[in-house]
Amino acid sequence: MVKHTATSVVTIERFIIEEERNHPEATGELSGILYDLALAAKMIANKVRSAGLADILGSAESENVQGEVQQQLDVLANEIIIKAMDHGGRLCAMASEEEPDIIQIPENFKCGKYCLLFDPLDGSSNIDVNVPVGTIFSVVRKITRGRHGEMEDILQPGRRQVAAGYVIYGSSTMMVYTTGQGAHGFTLDPSIGEFLLSHPNIRIPETGRYLSVNDSYEELWDDNVRTIMRKYKGLDGTSKALSTRYVGSLVADFHRNLLGGGIFAYPANRKTPRGKLRLLYEANPLAFIVEQAGGAASDGAQRVLDVLPTELHQRTPLFIGSKHEVELAKRVLGGAPELVGA
């Protein structure tokens, strides 16, 4: 990898191209996908930034032809990504958290050898209260032979991802992605409209500082999950307490813990026995990133990246973040005798 420091000015485009040079066999298609995604992210960031103005602008511009300002932002983000990605000739299919079925590439466009899976605007219920939201994406290679992408192409285990990333629309807009050569973060400089390398080769601390979990489900958790949480909070007298931080917006919670160390947990509970988060659009891409940053991700029983998906919108319990904390969850849920019931 070309060495960059946070002080040299490196655009995401230059970085993507330099990474591609490490793969002499690369055709440039994956680089094109990443670059198009960065463009879509800038367009979404622009919409998110004016979210609070939608009603005001809507009434002021009653002739708004596209009707865009009135549209739900998650639906809009979904459309932005589809339109930015469907005609480049690099994708054979897409799947979105917002769409019930696989999204096919229109007949008049060329089909490529990759599939894109995405959650266009995660945490969008937070938009109204000005809390950060995010886009999450995953890229896998087509494995079937036909022109179009099929369910089999989309339902591949996360370890087969060739790229994954997220964009956080927060106090600044950042894109973090990996192609399996480390996880790298870029901050959008709004004055020039470019993502600039700001966090090269992110490493998550091995031991966490933060615990991100929605405690209000405590009554619905099983005993093992309660045991884990007591340990994270230092209530069992043997471990150091983590600080609880929960935004309720996955990308924001994940991003903080990636940089500062910690664990995000969304365990199964009696009402959501398979968890809430989606394997393909949320858990897999973030698991790829966290592993590249030296962390771990588990569904409680196995490594997230090894789970074989069977449905497009499959949900999964998720324990993701610093290695030490994820290991603890795995050991307790796996029934390690010295830990269970402690």
Indicate whether 280 belongs to the interface with ligand AHM (CB under 6 A): no
Q: Which stretch binds ligand AHM (CB under 6 A): 116-124, 158-166, 186-194, 222-230?
A: 116-124
Q: Hey, which residues does 23 pair with through a beta bridge?
A: none
Task: Give the C-alpha separation, 34 to 36, whole Å.
Answer: 5
Among 190, 193, 234, 248, which residue interacts with ligand AHM (rule: CB under 6 A)?
Answer: 248
Q: Please, which residue, 179 or 298, has the CB nearer to ligand AHM?
A: 298
Interface with ligand AHM (CB under 6 A), residue total 11
Least distance (Å) between residue 97 CB and ligand AHM: 6
Q: Interface mask (CB under 6 A) for ligand AHM, residues 175-214, using x and -?
A: ---------------------------------------x
Closest separation in Å from C-beta 216 to ligand AHM: 8
Site string for Mg ion, 271-290 (x = CB under 5 A): --------------------
Q: Does 122 bind Mg ion (CB under 5 A)?
A: yes
- For Mg ion, which stretch binds (CB under 5 A), given 30-38, 121-129, 254-262, 321-329? 121-129
- Is residue 161 close enough to count as binding ligand AHM by CB under 6 A? no
Nearer to ligand AHM, 152 or 311 (CB): 311
Q: Of ligand AHM, Mg ion, none, which one does residue 249 interact with (CB within 5 to 8 Å by kind)?
A: ligand AHM
Tokens for 157?
Answer: 């285990």
The answer to the question of residue 119 lying near Mg ion (CB under 5 A) is yes
CA angle (175, 181, 186) in 5-degree steps: 20
Residue 46 binding ligand AHM, by CB under 6 A: no
Query: In the bound complex, what is the minimum distance in angstroms from residue 32's beta carbon to ligand AHM?
Result: 27
Stretch that binds ligand AHM, among 42-50, 75-83, 115-123, 235-243 (CB under 6 A): 115-123
Of the candidates 20, 122, 291, 299, which one interacts with ligand AHM according to CB under 6 A? 122
User: For residue 44, how many C-alpha atoms fall within 13 Å in the half-sphere facing its CB?
Assistant: 39
Per-residue burial over 164-193, b if 16 or more Cβ lie within 10 Å, else e, is bbbbbbbeebbbbbbbeebbbbbbbeeeee
Residues 72-101 that bind ligand AHM (CB under 6 A): 97
- Note the residues at the interface with Mg ion (CB under 5 A): 119, 122
- Note the residues at the interface with ligand AHM (CB under 6 A): 97, 119, 122-125, 214, 248-250, 276
